[in-house]
Amino acid sequence: MHPLSSSTSASAGPATHRLRLWWRRLGRRGAAGAAAFAFALLAAAFFLAPSRDASAPSTASYPSYGHRLPTLVDLTLVAGARERGAVCLDGTPPGYHWLPGFGEGSDKWLLHLEGGSWCRNLTWCAQRKETNLGSSDHMGRRAEFVGILSDDQLQNPDFYNWNKVKVRYCDGASFSGNVEEEFQDGTPFFFRGQRIWEAVMSELLSKGLSRAKEAFLTGCSAGGLSTYINCDDFRALVPKASTDLRKKFTHCSSDMEPGQCIFPREVAKGIHTPMFILNPAYDVWQVEHVLSPEGSDPERLWQNCRLDITKCDSKQLETLQGFRKELLDAISEFKKKKDWGMFINACFIHCQSMNSLTWHSPSAPRINNKTIAESVGDWFFNRREVKEIDCEYPCNPTCHNAVLDQAYKEE
């Protein structure tokens, strides 16, 4: 699959525009139902796309866990982004945080695509423009690098010394839009996620990504969906990419809703790059916004359960177990792929890779006594096959289960 050219980028615009209109037409309740039908439970999955070096190490040590303050990394705005039309929702330039690698990791790169849901209608998008998820004017000038982005070997044993980049998310549609028009209902909006992706990649290539011996694309939530969409293109950018990525396969048919074409279960069918799925079987965001959204629960029977899994009654737990089964059914065809990996634990949480406690620590969630960081590293460096599927809740005592309050807002 070749890197997107200007012609393929242009053709992506109308399709993404149709998708946004489809989502707006369905509304929150309808979109949630359609998402569940299309197995959007994988959309929050943390997907990793490597281009592997044959000289990758065969062993790794995991020293005892220590603690130090996380490294703070400055924000870099993409040069010339406005001239390319690669801008955030409000027209400001996009940005990223880059922590250069060192030692043996100086020619290895790990990129993380920030998550943050979608803006599903113009009202939400207008509100988003006033936040860090829609404008670089509102982004923090420095970011803490923790979890998979940490440069502390005790917290991140396999990737601590790599070049690590956090790509900020400000387009509202998983780095996928390319719409020319700038006004919607008289208000300026810039749906240019695909151009942001291309502009950031172009700048990073010039800073050393083009010489990478190993490269790893990661993301979570909306950023996880973006890794589905862009992983083969990313692999084709690095010099060791194999030539079998020269064709682009699509799995959309005329009887599908346009939005289904962007859901992971469909996108994944055409992916050639080895992938790793990290997802809790009881993902907090999905339970609250897909399985039991407030709009479908007027009597608030699910309110306590969606905020704290220990408050779920027996019937609700039965529904959650069915939700878990749908997830396992959805990934069953990918479990058969020898070079794919997965870690599906029984936790009630969301995005476990960007937290030092859940990524790798003495109290981190484990399956078969392996942390997430150990499992991802084992898979990436071919130390063992990793197809970890946890038992049903509440079987795993190592889980960190979120307890939300009434002020909780979706990511």
Predicted confidence (pLDDT) per residue in 153-179, tens digit: 999 999 999 999 999 999 999 999 899
Query: What whole-number percentage of the chain has pLDDT above 90?
Result: 68
| Active-site residue, selected from the candidate residues 221, 353, 361, 375 | 221
* pTM of structure: 0.84
pLDDT confidence of residue 4: 25
Per annotation, catalytic residue among 283, 292, 353, 378 = 283
Of the CA atoms within 13 Å of residue 222, those in its CB half-sphere come to 21
- Catalogue the long-range contacts made by 9-13 (C-beta closer than 8 Å, 24 or more residues apart): 9/178, 9/194, 9/195, 9/198, 10/178, 12/176, 12/177, 12/178, 12/194, 13/177, 13/178, 13/179, 13/180, 13/194
**Does position 114 have pLDDT exceeding 80, yes or no?**
yes
Could you state, in order of their start, the residue ranges of all structural domains in the chain?
6-279
30-34, 39-43, 283-287 — most confident range: 283-287
**Which pLDDT band, with edges at 50, 70 and 90, does 362 fall under?**
very high
Residue 49 pLDDT: 58
Average pLDDT rounded to a whole number, residues 286-305: 93
pLDDT over 50 at 60, yes or no: no
Annotated active-site residue 350? The verdict is yes
Considering only residues 106 and 43, tell me which one the structure prediction assigns the higher pLDDT: 106
Confidence at residue 254, expressed as pLDDT on a 0 to 100 scale: 61
Alpha carbons 108 and 295: distance in angstroms, whole number: 46
Note if 283 is an active site residue: yes
**In contact, 284 and 348? CB cutoff 8 Å:** yes
Q: Report residue 261's pLDDT band, with 50, 70 and 90 as the boundaries.
A: confident
> With bands split at pLDDT 50, 70 and 90, how would you rate the model's confidence at 57?
very low
**Which range, 7-16, 104-113, 263-272, is most confident?**
104-113
Q: Quick count: other Cβ atoms within 10 Å of Cβ 135?
A: 20
Averaged pLDDT for residues 211-225: 94
Reported as a pLDDT band with limits 50, 70 and 90, residue 230 is: very high
- 7-26 pLDDT per residue, tens: 222 333 333 333 333 333 33
Whether the CA torsion 175, 167, 171, 356 is positive or negative: it is: positive
- Which of residues 337 and 15 earns the better pLDDT score? 337
Rounded Cα distance between 215 and 15, Å, is 29
For 372, the 3-state DSSP assignment is: helix
Specify the pLDDT at position 54: 41
Q: Assess contact for 179 and 191: CB atoms under 8 A.
A: yes
Kindly state the tokens that stand for 407: 């002020």
Q: How buried is residue 221: exposed, middle or buried, by Cβ count under 10 Å (0-12/13-18/19+)?
A: buried
* H or E element that contains 388: strand 387-389
Angle, to 10 degrees, between the axis of helix 193-206 and the axis of helix 222-237? 50
318 is written with which tokens?
């039965």
Q: Which of 17-26, 49-58, 401-410 has the lowest mean pLDDT?
A: 17-26
In order of 111, 118, 152, the CA distances from 69 in angstroms are: 21, 31, 9
pLDDT, mean of residues 251-265: 71
- pLDDT at 145 > cutoff 60: yes
User: What's the rounded Cα separation, in Å, for the pair 48 and 110?
Assistant: 9
pLDDT at 252: 61
Q: What is the pLDDT of residue 10?
A: 30
- Residue 257: the pLDDT is 73
Confirm whether 135 is a catalytic residue. Answer: no
Residue 347 has pLDDT above 80, yes or no: yes
- CB 309 within 8 Å of CB 282: yes
Cβ-based burial of 258 (10 A; exposed 0-12, middle 13-18, buried ≥19): middle
pLDDT of residue 66: 56
Whether the pLDDT of residue 212 is over 50: the answer is yes
CA–CA separation, 324 and 18 (whole Å):
31
pLDDT of 62 over the 50 cut: no
Mean pLDDT of the chain: 82
**Which is the catalytic residue, given 97, 272, 350, 360?**
350
- Say what the pLDDT of residue 47 is: 53
- In the three-class reduction of DSSP (H, G, I as helix; E, B as strand; rest coil), residue 305 is classed as helix
